Structure 1
Amino acid sequence: MSVAWKFPDAPNTACFTTTEVLNGAPIVLVSHDYEGDWQFHAASNETMLSSVKIVCLADMIRRDDLLAELHGLPCGWGAQRDDWAGHWERFKDKPFPAFAEQGYYLEDAVWLSRYLTDIEPPPAAVRDALPIGACVKLVFRFAAEDGARGDGQCERMWVQVTGIDEYEGCYSGTIANHPQHAVASYGDLLAFHPLHVADIASEQD
């Protein structure tokens, strides 16, 4: 491989593409969905089931070195370009907060728990079935998604569930704390995913 491996995913990570791409068409659309899956599409963006192929991530990077520029593309984001050598334009492909729009984004609590011992998200079955009125703790990061990490960027705040979007597989809720960062406020409405849930308040909290 002609470029250093910078993706957090392993080189043998399974990802999705199409027969058109494997036949040599330029990749102009990349999706990194919120479940962590990568998709690579040509201009026609074939979606027929018969055209979908599973390949490893490293194979896609070998086909096009410029894909390595997307190593920091967050889950729930996509990138597109006009042609093989074009500049990647990143875009949000999810309803959740983004730094460019809200001044913060929500950390993946399950991912954080691999590195922080004081974050222990509830089981997936619990996070996937939150009732209206539940209070959950989310980790807000007041910095760019691909920015260098530093002290004072994150706040852990309670959010009360006010809605359930079964189609998107996510929730809506309002901030139940008074944030230290001025770009967020008590009562602000936001969308969040079960993966964002770091804790659930008990009746005694």
Structure 2
Amino acid sequence: MTEADDPANKMTTAWKFPDAPNTACFTTTEVLNGAPVVHVFHDYEGDWQFHGASGATASSSVKIVSLAYMIGSDDLLAPLHDLPYGWRAQWHAGAGNWERFKDHPFPSFAEHGYYLEDAIWLAQYLTDIQPPPAEVREQLAIGSYVKLVFRFAAEDGARADGQCERMWVLVTGIDEEEGWYTGSIENTPQHPAARYGDLIAFHPLHVADLAPQQA
């Protein structure tokens, strides 16, 4: 394939994905041979997967290409630029659009009236958010207090002042297999969608701060 044939060089619309065009993503031989993409996964760790109707995932069929390559090869993928982490999308041929499904246990605006911000992402823009190192966030003990950032707005909604609250959460459970936690809100929220004592699930990526351990 020549550079001129590379789908990444044929995109005619502005790049809207928050991930860089050269982000590595997973697809299959089936898709690269021309099968349409009907299943898209945006894993909670940020990885993208693009699969055809068969869903073939044998190790011999898995291929790694750039995100720009995939988007440039199929115009129907462009609307998925705002697919949140931990969500998947399935092409609905009859309706001619993508149906989206939450693929994780964490709060979402549609279900709870708020969601949890990715603290690692926020730290790029807010100097007063400095999350602990990954090895600390991934090894929290029950009884620890962590600070999470709650956003009381739609995941893809325009940002405005007053949408977010930073609150302490007490770690009450650990899902070691999946790598996330459960906890209870230890502040009284200003927004009515959440309450003191509410139980939530959260990921190490949500941890914006860790309270010092009491002696």
Q: TM-score range by the shorter chain?
A: over 0.9
> 1:135, CA displacement in angstroms?
0.3
8 A contact 1:27–1:84 mirrored in 2: no
Aligned to 1:141: 151
Whether the aligned pair in 1 keeps the contact of 2:24 and 2:65 (CA below 8 Å) is: yes
Moved over 6 A (4+): none
Structure 2 partner of 1:61: 71
Q: Identity over aligned residues, as a percent?
A: 75
The aligned counterpart of 2:52 is: 42
Cα distance in 2 between the residues matched to 1:93 and 1:203: 33
The separation in 1 between residues aligned to 2:155 and 2:177, in whole angstroms, is 25
Aligned equivalents of 1:153, 1:51: Cα separation in 2:
44
Q: Is the 8 A contact 2:41 2:50 kept in 1?
A: yes
Does residue 194 (structure 1) correspond to residue 204 (structure 2)? The answer is: yes
Give the match for residue 75 of structure 1: 85
Within 1, Cα distance between the matches of 2:211 and 2:20? 35
| SS at structure 2 position matched to 1:91 | strand
Partner residue in 2 for 1:33: 43
- Which residue of the other structure, out of 5, 15, 20, is the alignment partner of 2:30? 20
After TM superposition, the structure 1 = structure 2 runs for residues 142-181 of structure 1, keeping only pairs within 5 Å, are: 142-181=152-191
The structure having more radius of gyration, on CA atoms, is 2
Structure 2 residue identity aligned to 1:116? L
Q: What root-mean-square deviation, in Å, do the aligned CA atoms of Structure 1 and Structure 2 show?
A: 1.3
Q: For structure 1, which runs of at least 5 residues remain unmatched after alignment? A: none
Distance change (3 Å), C-alpha of 1:100 and 1:144: same
Q: TM-score, normalised by structure 2?
A: 0.92
In structure 2, the residue corresponding to 1:143 is in which secondary structure? coil
> Please, what TM-score do these two structures have when normalized by structure 1?
0.97
